[in-house]
Amino acid sequence: MNLSSLAAPLRPIALWSPIGLDSTQSLIDVSFEAEGIERDVTDRQVVLSLAPLVIAVARAPGRGASPARLHFRDRARGIELGSLQLSAAGRIDTADTSLDCYSVDASRHRCLPAPLRAWQRWLQTQRPRDERGGFSMNAADVQHLLVFYICPRPVVLVSVDDGECQNLFPMDLVGTIGGEHFTLALRNTSPSVATLRNAGRAVLADVPLADRALAYSLGAHHRLKMIDWATLPCATIHSSRFGFRVPAQAPRVRELTIIAAQEQGSHTTFLCRVTSEEIRASVPRLFHTSGIHRAWRRGHGAAPWREPS
């Protein structure tokens, strides 16, 4: 063993890691605990705001109970890798569904040995704070979000069009809240918030892992109100009902109808219903997970996902 390998655990671990999974993640189970009741919420817990960090759970036991806890467990081994301590922060109700909102008060994880956890936390506080988009996360909320991202989150390209403004940009603050309902959390400073409100609909395109660089390059569109489709570095097709343009290589395309929109902290959350879904290919798709989760997987053998080239 050389000095480089000995020093590897002391180097900064990436906050977020791109990985390739099938259409849904099956590595982590997420459960919600309140008032002595614990239930599976793997397919219905989402982020509403990053500053401050606020999450939501659909159909949670003990509706709006405080305190509560969210547990993240490795499905194969049954080991708890992390948890979030929550306090009630209101509710979003619509005719279709409702969400219980929670502030994140504390977090813990066991993805790294105790001394390395403290060391990595210190290293992460030394990183420059990202204040693009009109906000920055505090150090504690970043640590809490790392635990939330132990459960891999899909990256999608969102196509919006209100007849005047059109855009295509990547998002990973998206998620199911049970059944055919979906949420999108977009920065309040994004010009596309108004476009989504005006249009009342959107189209999501899954991203093949091989198109990771394309998705990241389109992140620049978050600052734009309108894009020139002719300059896109990929071919596009039209979605089946709405006719919105999405990358031709998208393995899955979902059309969403927006049923409600609510500003929460740094972001505006759009509650949506899936109107149509088209499966176009079966390839590994781009997800994000936390660097601490990736480090734990590597310490327990080969990671059960595709790594980007």
What is the token pair recorded at 143? 């640590």
Cβ contacts of residue 243 below 8 Å, gap of 6+?
Answer: none
14-151+290-299 and 153-286 have identical folds: yes
Stated pTM of the model: 0.93
Split at pLDDT 50, 70, 90, the class of 122 is confident
> Over the stretch 2-44, which tens digit does the pLDDT of each residue have?
444 444 567 788 899 999 998 889 999 999 999 888 999 999 9
Residue 129: pLDDT band (50, 70, 90) is low
- Give the ranges where the chain is alpha helix by DSSP (H): 3-7, 114-125, 139-148, 192-199, 212-217, 291-299
Q: What does CATH list as the number for 14-151+290-299?
A: 2.30.110
Cα three-residue angle 141-142-145, rounded to 5 degrees? 85
pLDDT score recorded for residue 198: 97
Spans of all domains in the chain: 14-151+290-299, 153-286
As a whole number, mean pLDDT of residues 180-189 equals 95
Structure tokens at 219: 């992140």
Higher pLDDT, 54 or 95: 54
CATH topology of domain 153-286: Pnp Oxidase; Chain A (2.30.110)
State residue 5's pLDDT score: 46
Bigger pLDDT: 157 or 117? 157
